[in-house]
Amino acid sequence: MAKLAAADLLREIGSENPPQLIFLCGEDSLSVAQTEKKILKKLTDGSALSDTSFDGQAVDLDRLADACTFCPMFQPYNVILLRDFDADVHAPSVIDTMLGIFENIAPRVVVLIVMRALPVYEIKRNAPQYLPKYKKLMTFFEKDGVLCICEKRNVIQLGKQIAERAKRHGSEISRPLAEQLASRCLCDSTLIHTELDKLLACADGTPITQEMMDALVAALPDADAFRLARAVTGGNGTAAFRMLRDLTAKAEDSKTILGLLSVLSTTFIDLYRAKLGQGAAKHTEHIAADFGYPKNREFAVRNAMRDCGSMTVPQLRTCIRILRETDKSCKSSRTAPRLLLEQAVVRMLRVRRDGTEAAG
């Protein structure tokens, strides 16, 4: 079919003949999760069989093939849900076999692949560019099904959404203050959702004020995140854990930790891109243009250029992998997210300049 925005995909799902092949991904993890929930609500009555859910770390291809040929008798659709398919742990032949299975699915079978914890593309020149290991899979869905990418929204778009959500909850927030909240949270929807919940609870039906913002919303963004990254890559464990404690002082709930993890991941990606740009002797504006940074995010490139001097590309690459693995663990295991984040910081402190991890 095509590449569709989330709203258009949901309209297609509600039609008489919904698409049978759906690939859902994006930097906006909250939108991905919300879209997944709405798709499942539209296609099932809440009693989908457990054997239609598959683990992206270890896909049983035989069971997947059987599930894709099962036409349901008592439900409108048989939804095959595959979360976070990890191309790093599967041979290329596994993707080829999967695509062969998807080409021959039964009527009223819907395959839904959801990527919430693993990146499958990067932004270059303001457009998503598929990572090589996922290109065949995503191209297949774009051609023969639906590819839906929930891209990160900018400050203006998020400010409007924040104001609308506050109004729905019987409160209000000015657009400048809403945009300030989006900026403080580095345009991360998960973190914005958490911080706005706190502000709405405090306002209790009254307008949200600057005083409430300063008292409740951690001034977490770029400066603190970059300082934490410098402490980690510099091997300064005392400073790293002191900053981690300060960043989580106001809340340690799962949403806050996941938001902080997202901000740290974004920061390390900024540092990685800046380091690559330095190696190619490029200026800040060229790096920002090459990686599709919007105008309101160019400051991140400047900060990264300032701070990445003592870091190495292998070191940053390993830290990004650790953060990615931690994000996936936070969303799939029962271990406390705060503990997982602390373990990630310890691992990153042990990363050598050549990118290898020192033994504990």
pLDDT tens, residue by residue, 57-104:
888 999 999 999 887 777 788 899 998 898 888 889 999 999 999 998
pLDDT of 148 over the 70 cut:
yes
Q: Which tokens sit at 355? A: 């990118």
Instruction: Tell me the Ramachandran region of residue 13: left when phi exceeds 0, alpha when psi lies from -120 to 50, beta otherwise.
Output: alpha
Distance CA 79, CA 279 (A): 47
pLDDT of 294 over the 50 cut:
yes
- Per the prediction, the chain carries an average pLDDT of 85
Distance CA 188, CA 9 (A): 22
| Mean pLDDT, rounded, for 178-199 | 83
Q: Please tell me what DSSP assigns to residue 296.
A: G
Quick one: 229 and 345 in the same domain? yes
Quick one: 135 and 8 in the same domain? yes
Beta-bridge mates of residue 80 = 111
pLDDT of 296 over the 70 cut:
no
CATH of the domain at 31: 3.40.50.300
Which one-letter amino acid corresponds to residue 329? S
Quick one: 96 and 171 in the same domain? no
Beta-bridge mates of residue 123 = 128
Contact 176, 209 (CB under 8 A): no
**Displacement of CA 28 from its chain's centroid (Å):** 5
Quick one: 43 and 76 in the same domain? yes
Domain membership of residue 281 as a residue range: 222-349
Residue 8, pLDDT score: 93
Question: Helical H runs in 131-209?
Answer: 132-144, 155-168, 175-184, 189-203
Residue 48, pLDDT score: 46
Of the pLDDT bands very low, low, confident and very high (cuts 50, 70, 90), residue 164 is: very high
Distance CA 110, CA 120 (A): 21
Residue 50, pLDDT score: 38
Sign of torsion over alpha carbons 182, 186, 188, 191: negative
| Mean pLDDT, rounded, for 7-26 | 92
Quick one: 123 and 166 in the same domain? no
Domain boundary among 149, 169, 192: 149
Contact 268, 304 (CB under 8 A): no
Q: Which of 359, 201, 327, 353 is nearest to 260 (CA)?
A: 327
Distance CA 65, CA 48 (A): 18
In 301-334, which positions are buried (b, 16+ CB within 10 angstroms) versus exposed (e)? bbbbbebbeebbbebbebbbbbbbbbbbbbbeee
Quick one: 209 and 231 in the same domain? no
Residue 211 lies inside a defined structural domain of this protein: yes
Quick one: 66 and 177 in the same domain? no
Please state, for a pLDDT cut of 70, what percent of the chain lies above it: 92
If one counts the domains in the chain, the total is: 3
Q: Which of 41, 9, 13 is nearest to 25 (CA)?
A: 9
| Mean pLDDT, rounded, for 336-346 | 90
CA atoms within 13 A on the CB side of 286: 9
pLDDT of 53 over the 90 cut:
no
Distance CA 347, CA 335 (A): 17
Phi, psi of 128 (to 5 degrees): -65, 135
